[in-house]
Chains A and B, each alone.
Chain A
């Protein structure tokens, strides 16, 4: 069992729905993004290609962050999901330095979405439903609460919406796929195989569980 994601860059249009939905789903504070969209251009005018890479935690098979964490706050589950136990994190940020993909964030202090105007009801409800501690490192957890709750109901992540990460469900281009990479018949595995999806910077040796279909 190894949960992973495939992002088809041929389909992605860089609309930021995934990034915003992630912030909404987890009630993330201002400026914190567990997903981002990286952009670049290559080529010679006028034959240029613009690249848009939606990035998130790669939930690496060999995660550099887990080994760097002195308190075991960052843990890897048996299903491959790498997550952070906020109660154990002391905010040393070694993991931020260790992660070669720069997809971790340090939540320094509480901020308001409308500066100086107080917290909105959205933020207040978020603090109740999805409490985030300040002084700790946070990152994408493949929506493990959705995955766990969904599988608990007998649903299949990547197939059933309730058991699937929010960014996968919301993508208007249907560019994201989620599932067990060890299941050769799963949609994600098939895409990796058939469309020769690649990992970002495999040379780092962390064996990411997020793959990209390029071109």
Chain B
């Protein structure tokens, strides 16, 4: 069952029950008051009746001048009196002590009722109290008053009845009216309720539609919702969710795209050396006369290109394993690592006639020594490659506030700002032919970025074409000891 149906049905039934209970109570209350009034009225009538009968007996006794009248006489007189007193709207009856009917008037309806007979025989009126009872005969209601009446020393039971059907008819009429009114009221209320529930909950169905659209992959949809505050909050939260889904989806797409580019670049990088290898090997195979010069030239190219493939696969393995294997970080002196890297680079520095000037403060960091040295090696090697003969490379390691910063500065060829943005991408080469000549595959800086990330460090580059490049490694204070 839907929420609006639940709200609607439960409030509607509550309203109907309340209307009915209240109106039934009101009707019953007024009925009770009327009955009470009738009761006192009936008692008055009874008293009038009893007094009249008693007076007739006394009057007849005085008229006869007797001290005591006989039972038969008394009953005769009483019966006469009853007949004389008879009124159309009320009945009366007199029973002797053994509950035998002396006389009755307008009493046929009651006499015929078995309930009346039972009540009469079980009733003991000797205490002189009034006993009131209502008997129903068909749609006729009769209020009866029973009490004892003493005539000439003998006790009788006198009964008067009055027709109160009107009161009951009134009650049933009122009940009918109340029922009609409650049905109409319920109809009106249900209409109002329905409209208000639907109006209040309409934003919910709008939210629902939007949510479905978002779930179907339209992550750029945002819910616009006016309505109660809860619904506004809900739609705001849904929007926040859609935001995060959208950004995550975009991020995943970017990753997938990067991977695609990576694989495409990798295939290209592999095919280039393979083309030379296959081509020259094929030439050696099919050519009849290959001079010694040609043979050594072809074989030289094959060896060179094979080495390129080997270095490519080595770099790739490094790139892939760096992130996945657990690196062992321990406190190590920056000075020591820089000195060792400088020593390893000496042949390359000498070959290019480039000088490396190091200035290092006493800093100890948490690092995987081999990886960090490879980071320094790669960056200094890049600086050497960019430098011209006789130039200097300056390496400076010092504390800047909480962070340790290593800067590697060359005065070489530099690069354009659009290149700086992309140099960390795998296979990106600023100058393809120059970097190929140097045996690069464009993976060095991607590797550096990964190593830096592993050490909680960041790499940044400042460069200007013709002016040189400075690379900064910023190691966060947490990694410094």
- A and B co-occur in one complex: no
